[in-house]
Chains A and B, each alone.
Chain A
Amino acid sequence: GESVGLHLPTLSVQEGDNSIINCAYSNSASDYFIWYKQESGKGPQFIIDIRSNMDKRQGQRVTVLLNKTVKHLSLQIAATQPGDSAVYFCAEMNYGGSQGNLIFGKGTKLSVKP
């Protein structure tokens, strides 16, 4: 079946560096993508989303890039801080679909070294 996958299960970066977390999706019908951050002991927290009519969307210190040609999604975190240490999930769905159609990837653990 179709699923969302992540290229790297773990990522270690130095404080102050930029982080890039990648995600591959295979469902060509997906047109809405979300990045979530999950800290230890907490539920996933919405970071940023993007619809398929956009290639790039920026938030506070975060940027999501969408490459529909190769079905690739990335999350860039600028000036990574220790508080960014968490597991990051990408998720995909059809925007017209219900929340039950949201498919999550396995997650990438980001560790920030001081």
Chain B
Amino acid sequence: KAGVTQTPRYLIKTRGQQVTLSCSPISGHRSVSWYQQTPGQGLQFLFEYFSETQRNKGNFPGRFSGRQFSNSRSEMNVSTLELGDSALYLCASSFRDRGTEAFFGQGTRLTVV
């Protein structure tokens, strides 16, 4: 059974640009969550989707957005990139949306220059 797949693995962008990251959950999983990981702040929750609906959103500016497709694949978008957006972006999927083990992908390392 394939794990959570995130693409691309590495990305370098310039300030002001926008970026789209992709996450394919484990087959059969309907819940996808996104996290930002930085050395200073640790793992911070961005948003969560279940059956194409955003169920929860973390404390991030509106430049961060996401969506989920009918096949449960998810994308997140960051517009008007800032240097501080440089981070490892992690996607996690789970079978249900509540109280279940989340499986993480390897992440996308975004560097903003």
Question: Which residues in A have some Cβ–Cβ distance to B below 8 Å?
Answer: 32, 34, 36, 41-46, 49, 89, 93, 95-107
| Complex contact B31–A99 (CB within 8 A) | yes
Tell me whether B45 and A102 are in contact (CB under 8 A).
yes
Residues A96 and B101 in contact in the complex (CB < 8 Å), given A44-B43, A106-B42: no
* Closest A residue, CB atoms, query B45: A100
Q: Determine which of A43, A96, A107 lies in contact with B42 in the assembled complex, contact meaning CB atoms within 8 Å.
A: A107
Q: Are B106 and A100 in contact (CB under 8 A)?
A: no
| Consensus secondary structure, chain A interface | mixed
Return the chain A residue nearest B56 by Cβ: A100
Most chain-B CB neighbours within 10 Å: which of A34, A43, A44? A43
Residue numbers in B under 8 Å from A101 (CB-CB): 56
* Binary contact readout B22-55 vs A (1 if CB under 8 angstroms, 0 otherwise): 0000000001010100000011110110100001
**Contact partner of B48 among A34, A95, A98, CB < 8 A?**
A98
A44 with B42: CB separation less than 8 A? no
Q: Do A43 and B45 form a contact, CB below 8 Å, given A97-B98, A98-B98, A100-B58?
A: no
